[in-house]
Structure 1
Amino acid sequence: MNESGFRTAIASTAAVLIIGSPVPAQASPGAAGHLQQAAASDWPTYHRDNARTGDATDLAPLGTLGTAWQSTLDGAVYGQPLVVGGQILAATENNTVYALDPATGATRWSAHIGEPARRSELPCGNIDPLGITSTMVYDQATSRVYALAELTGGQHVLVGVNAGTGAVEVRTPLEPPKGDVLAHQQRAALTLFDGRVYVPYGGLAGDCANYIGSVASVTTAGTDPISYAVPTTREAGIWAPGGGVVDGQRLLYSVGNGESTMTYDDSDSVLALSPALQRVDLFAPDTWADDNAQDLDLGSSSPTLLGDHVIAVGKRGTGYVLNHDKLGGIGGQLAQADICQSFGGSATSGDTAYLPCTDGPAAVRVDAAGTPTVVWRAAVSANGSPTVGGGAVWVADWNTGDLYALAPADGTVRSQINLGTLPHFASPTLSGDHAYVGTMTGVVAVSGA
């Protein structure tokens, strides 16, 4: 399954939330259109780094939250905004990439990639229009931000946009390798690793037609395409918002349910892929057949790296602890425990993982033997994907539009503010004394960090 039943139809508006004062002006773009060297407070990819820690160690201490200013973009912002070189980078479902001035929210530049796909031309789905849904990734070596746009007719195009000028410098088709192109949606975050961009694919809400979970990749110049497809007859989408999690020289992906309940087909799993997109390791629960039959797979939440372990939690609610050097195959977990039904991307800080749960985040620790312990469950049912910084765990509730700052010690609420309507799996970006959240109604600036 992709995310059917967990997202609602959206309007063609967008927002980015900002908490605190502007990013320092000295990090502004250079005269030649190249951004200066990345600052420690930059957030160039989903949850800040390739391990997807979501940990902003230099975020200012939490204060009283309050709205500072608002602006509007041309479409909904589903992916996490990025912070690079003194500007905020955001992409919309109308296929426009923006650079925003953090002091005023004004647009510094915008690049429209092309007409987005419409619901009427797709076999199912619930985003209309459907444009750039995943979190982009910034490449310091080329000063480009990369985005995957879905265009009218169901085309999938990877673009590399100069982050200093907005010029589209790379544009290349990047389709899923198997199945019906129209049936695929690109929801999971892009990953930049060793000069290549990795793009995962899943299906549309409704799990219709013939889609097959896959990862496609090209170099940052848009050349040398390679791909991997899950060896299933249908489904097994790779769609969890965090995308590929880099563990050494491997990329870890969580995979949704496949069609088979008789012969194992690599679905309902955590896959380890090499940079060349060869499968090198795998974990699947020994309940995989029942998971596939009941849509209770691991594909709803990205893998979590915590020390020497990988934590995998999905729709069934069982948390599996894996040895990150050897994932264990079918039923090869080190330990397991009931944790929560999980959708989204996690964050980690020190020895603690903060997992996204449908009824509020959970703080989890794992001992040397691999045994997981739930340290706390949040006092509020915020269902977004958490990040950490400024002495708080930040999590949004996309049912109510509230953003919460929770105490890391016990999950109690330290502060909160309502942001309006949020997309599913919304996750705060943290930088300096700011937080940024893609929303559905405009660009909201909030002071108080």
Structure 2
Amino acid sequence: MTLSPGAAHPPPTLPGDWLTYHHDATRSGDVPGIPAPGALRPTWRAALDGAVYGQPLVVRGTVVAATEHDSVYGLDPATGRVRWHTSLGTPAPLSSLPCGGIDPLGVTSTPVYEPTTGLVFALAELVGGRHVLTGLDPATGTVRVRRQAESPRGTPRDDQQRGALAAVDGRVLITYGGLEGDCGDYIGSVVSVPATGAGPVLSHAIPTARQGGVWAPGGPVLAPDGRVLVSVGNGGSTKGPWDGSDSVLALDPRSLTVTGSFAPTSWPQDNAHDLDLGSLTPALVGRWVLAVGKRGTGYTLGLSTRLRRTGVGGEQAQAHLCGAFGTAAVSGTTAFVPCTDGLLRVDVGPDGVPRPGWRVALRAAGSPVLGGGAVWVPDYGAGALLVLAPATGRVLARLATGPLPHFASPVLSGDRVLIGTTTGVTAFTGA
């Protein structure tokens, strides 16, 4: 199904809209115009038909949330009332997959609003392991575009699509990794589909024998120079020539050709021990790209220098930070990095050296966002959302959310805070 001629005349979006993961295409998570946190309180809890792993979107006054039951909902932002509900198909039961940790497996990634069509796009996994990209009218939930979109290599049933979708130049970018447990025949990739549904699908597969998943929750990052950045997990090689894995890649969005790449000199050991860079979305911090992974070493890379060539080593600087998972929030030259043991403030100096600052202990840190002079970070191990002072890490507020999915991340829209839970969406007000 493709977009009908003349249907793509979208009305303007509104202040307070949240149209993509972490608010903007750079995945900064830094949201202007948010009031300082006040007396925060829960206002509604929308019980939907499955877990909401991705961030909800806010599009022209409608909250759009996708579930692991392969449903997309339009909700009233004031009350959580369901305005519309669209089923994308039947999700894949865990029993039908070779491994994994989500049951059933439906929509795991954060959808994206695509401005040339005015549609919200979501990627659904269906029973049998097929992956279908669907474009919906955010006002009504009507399906306008539907197209199968698979990774170019490996076995679709062994793929998992966790990274947030991105909208770039009239196309929707999709990243693929593997299921929890790294089983089966999967090879990480980036896939680009025309937002109209018509025209060629482009793709780039990691040139490794297996694995090399592109799975970090933030998905593709649009850099200031127009290129797309992704982080890549461990690959099948542990000796010999570098196989493209354990890396940061810079891609031309028009062709998905690699225009620059970086892997640490430790890549063979990283691959052998699952200590790769693929667990954290690349962060644009000042004029540097900050890459941190499971090993805990943070690397800074120059977009116009190191990431204009390919290969191993040659970072600007490195420092031990923390084992990192998810997506950092960034303001200027400061990043707030979700670690295995909490949230870490990292400041990157003019020399490119990443310097760790305060650390707040959490059971399992989700991906933070910034707004109203505060850091908002979920603790999905404790079922809570914490509000922190950026300069010191002091806890300003702690809100009970109930059970949260892995790598949960909040949404800030006006005085409202939204977060996906294992049963739907919860909203707080008082920001």
Separation in structure 2 between the aligned mates of residue 76 and residue 292 of structure 1, nearest angstrom = 31
The verdict on how the C-alpha distance between 1:324 and 1:381 changes in structure 2, with shifts beyond 3 A counting, is farther
Residue 105 of structure 1 corresponds to which residue in structure 2? Answer: 80
Residue aligned with 2:272, SS: helix
5 Å-filtered alignment, 1:40-439, equals 40-223=15-198, 224-247=200-223, 248-262=225-239, 263-275=241-253, 276-327=255-306, 329-378=311-360, 380-439=362-421
Separation in structure 1 between the aligned mates of residue 9 and residue 363 of structure 2, nearest angstrom = 42
5 Å-filtered alignment, 1:14-29, equals none
Indicate conservation of the 8 Å contact 1:199/1:216, yes or no.
yes
Residue aligned with 1:290, SS: helix
The verdict on how the C-alpha distance between 1:387 and 1:311 changes in structure 2, with shifts beyond 3 A counting, is same
Counterpart of 2:341 in structure 1: which amino acid?
D
Indicate conservation of the 8 Å contact 2:21/2:164, yes or no.
yes
Separation in structure 1 between the aligned mates of residue 286 and residue 383 of structure 2, nearest angstrom = 33
Indicate conservation of the 8 Å contact 1:379/1:412, yes or no.
no
Residue 4 of structure 2 corresponds to which residue in structure 1? Answer: none
Indicate conservation of the 8 Å contact 1:70/1:444, yes or no.
yes
Q: CA deviation at 1:351?
A: 2.4
Separation in structure 2 between the aligned mates of residue 443 and residue 347 of structure 1, nearest angstrom = 21
Separation in structure 1 between the aligned mates of residue 423 and residue 139 of structure 2, nearest angstrom = 26
Residue aligned with 1:378, SS: strand
Separation in structure 2 between the aligned mates of residue 198 and residue 65 of structure 1, nearest angstrom = 36
Separation in structure 2 between the aligned mates of residue 249 and residue 441 of structure 1, nearest angstrom = 37
Q: More displaced, 401-410 or 348-357?
A: 348-357
Provide TM-score, normalisation by structure 1.
Answer: 0.91
Indicate conservation of the 8 Å contact 1:321/1:335, yes or no.
yes
The verdict on how the C-alpha distance between 1:35 and 1:429 changes in structure 2, with shifts beyond 3 A counting, is farther
| Residues 39-92 of structure 1: per-residue CA shift (max 9 Å, x gap) | 232110000111001011111110122222222111100001111101111100
Q: More displaced, 160-169 or 235-244?
A: 160-169
Residue aligned with 1:182, SS: helix
Provide TM-score, normalisation by structure 2.
Answer: 0.95
| Residues 77-135 of structure 1: per-residue CA shift (max 9 Å, x gap) | 00011111011111000111111001110011111010011112111111111000000
Q: CA deviation at 1:366?
A: 1.1
Counterpart of 2:343 in structure 1: which amino acid?
P
Residue aligned with 2:271, SS: helix
Q: Pick 1 or 2: higher relative contact order, CA cutoff 8 A, min separation 6.
A: 1
Q: CA deviation at 1:381?
A: 4.8
Q: CA deviation at 1:350?
A: 2.5
| Residues 384-438 of structure 1: per-residue CA shift (max 9 Å, x gap) | 1010001110000111101000001111100011110000000011111111110
Separation in structure 1 between the aligned mates of residue 116 and residue 183 of structure 2, nearest angstrom = 39
Counterpart of 2:380 in structure 1: which amino acid?
W
Separation in structure 2 between the aligned mates of residue 81 and residue 35 of structure 1, nearest angstrom = 20
Aligned residues: 418
Indicate conservation of the 8 Å contact 2:383/2:400, yes or no.
yes
Q: More displaced, 33-42 or 285-294?
A: 33-42
Separation in structure 2 between the aligned mates of residue 443 and residue 134 of structure 1, nearest angstrom = 15
Q: More displaced, 321-330 or 160-169?
A: 321-330
Q: More displaced, 357-366 or 181-190?
A: 357-366
Separation in structure 1 between the aligned mates of residue 9 and residue 372 of structure 2, nearest angstrom = 30
Separation in structure 2 between the aligned mates of residue 105 and residue 437 of structure 1, nearest angstrom = 12
Counterpart of 1:383 in structure 2: which amino acid?
A
| Residues 324-364 of structure 1: per-residue CA shift (max 9 Å, x gap) | 11335311110000111100011111221111111111111
Indicate conservation of the 8 Å contact 1:148/1:159, yes or no.
yes
Residue 16 of structure 1 corresponds to which residue in structure 2? Answer: none
Separation in structure 2 between the aligned mates of residue 186 and residue 33 of structure 1, nearest angstrom = 27
Q: More displaced, 439-448 or 338-347?
A: 439-448
Separation in structure 2 between the aligned mates of residue 294 and residue 149 of structure 1, nearest angstrom = 31
Q: CA deviation at 1:139?
A: 1.5
Separation in structure 2 between the aligned mates of residue 289 and residue 322 of structure 1, nearest angstrom = 20
Q: More displaced, 368-377 or 200-209?
A: 368-377
Residue aligned with 2:306, SS: coil
Separation in structure 1 between the aligned mates of residue 136 and residue 121 of structure 2, nearest angstrom = 6
Counterpart of 2:218 in structure 1: which amino acid?
G
Residue aligned with 1:356, SS: strand
Separation in structure 2 between the aligned mates of residue 233 and residue 445 of structure 1, nearest angstrom = 44
Q: More displaced, 357-366 or 396-405?
A: 357-366
Q: Which runs of 5+ in 1 are unaligned?
A: 1-31
Separation in structure 2 between the aligned mates of residue 445 and residue 207 of structure 1, nearest angstrom = 34
Indicate conservation of the 8 Å contact 2:8/2:117, yes or no.
no
Q: CA deviation at 1:380?
A: 4.3
| Residues 251-272 of structure 1: per-residue CA shift (max 9 Å, x gap) | 1000000010112100000011
The verdict on how the C-alpha distance between 1:95 and 1:160 changes in structure 2, with shifts beyond 3 A counting, is same
Indicate conservation of the 8 Å contact 2:221/2:229, yes or no.
yes
Separation in structure 2 between the aligned mates of residue 375 and residue 238 of structure 1, nearest angstrom = 29
Separation in structure 1 between the aligned mates of residue 24 and residue 208 of structure 2, nearest angstrom = 31
Residue 3 of structure 2 corresponds to which residue in structure 1? Answer: none
